[in-house]
Amino acid sequence: MKFFIDSADLKAIQDVKAMGMCDGVTTNPSLMAKAGRTDTDALLKEICRLVQGPVSGEVTALDADGMVAEGRRLAKLDDHLVVKVPTTLAGLKAIAALAGDGIAVNATLVFSVNQALLVAKAGAAYVSPFVGRLDDVGEDGMQLVSDVLEVYDNYDLETEVIVASVRHPMHVVDAALLGAHIATIPPEVIPKLVAHPLTDKGLAGFMADWAKLQGRGA
């Protein structure tokens, strides 16, 4: 499973990249606002240069023509730029037009199987079901991922599934068990994936025994 980093924070992305865990990046207007940079095109270019993999930058127009114009402009920033488009009626038109231009599109804010089916038919390269936000309202986010994977498999649809709105390590485990292509993970969740109390305890034991051995040598 590929790991994308769900962030527009260059330093955080750099940290995860240094662990070999950054296959791509997803941003959205909220993450851009959190990063606090108003020169968003320049920031996206810097992220693309750093990551050398797919980097999603989201359109902010709400009408199809506006989304297409913005998407075409964003796509010119870097070869790695993936245009993120919200899953609405206008979004479907924009996805079809951008995909027709050969531009990779990530269909975002997906909360149902039908939405995922439609964006794949429109030509999206990626679909982003938001598991955490579904869990928040008492639905089963991972069931949606499972259903989308099954439907795509039924029809050999090539759109890659990005498990999005990841909140905790079990989301990553479940995404991998389901065979999702990608999980986009907030940088603060990455350390939680490697942490285990028995690893810490075991290491402390090894270090204590090693110190005793050194003491014996002295």
DSSP states along 193-212: HH--HHHHHHHHHHHHHHHH
CB-nearer residue toward ligand E4P: 41 or 135: 135
Q: Which residues pair with 84 in a beta bridge?
A: 58, 106
Query: Measured between alpha carbons, how far is residue 107 from residues 4, 138, 155, 201, 208 in Å?
Result: 15, 23, 18, 43, 52
**Residue 87 near ligand E4P by CB under 6 A:** no
- Based on the shown chain and the rule CB under 6 A, indicate whether residue 165 belongs to the binding site for ligand E4P: yes
CB proximity list for 105: less than 8 A, separation 6 or greater: 71, 82, 83, 84, 85, 94, 95, 98, 99, 123, 124, 125, 126
Q: How much helix, strand and coil, in percent to the nearest 5, is found in the chain?
A: 55, 15, 25
Burial grade of 26 (CB within 10 A; 0-12, 13-18, 19 or more):
buried
* Nearest distance, CB of residue 167 and ligand E4P, angstroms: 7
84, 93, 201, 212: which one is catalytic?
84
Residue 208 Cβ vs ligand E4P, minimum distance, rounded to whole Å: 40
Select 28 or 87, whichever has its Cβ closest to ligand E4P: 28
Footprint (CB under 6 A) of ligand E4P, residues 182-201: 184
Does 146 bind ligand E4P (CB under 6 A)? Our answer is: no
Asked if 128 touches ligand E4P (CB under 6 A), the answer is yes
Q: Which is nearer to ligand E4P, 71 or 213 (CB)?
A: 71
Rounded Cα gap, residues 173 and 56, in angstroms? 23
User: Is 121 one of the annotated active-site residues of the chain?
Assistant: no
Cα 41 from chain centroid (whole Å): 19
- Of 115 and 165, nearer to ligand E4P (C-beta) is 165
Complex with ligand E4P: residue 57 or 123, whichever CB lies closer: 57
**Per-residue interface string for the shown chain with ligand E4P, residues 91-120, x marking contact by CB under 6 A:** -----------------x------------
**Quick one: which H or E segment has residue 32?**
helix 29-35
Looking only at residues 62 through 81 of this chain, which bind ligand E4P when binding is defined by CB under 6 A?
none
The residues that touch ligand E4P, with contacts defined as CB under 6 A, are: 6, 26, 28, 108, 128, 130, 132-133, 164-165, 184
Residues marked active site are found at 84
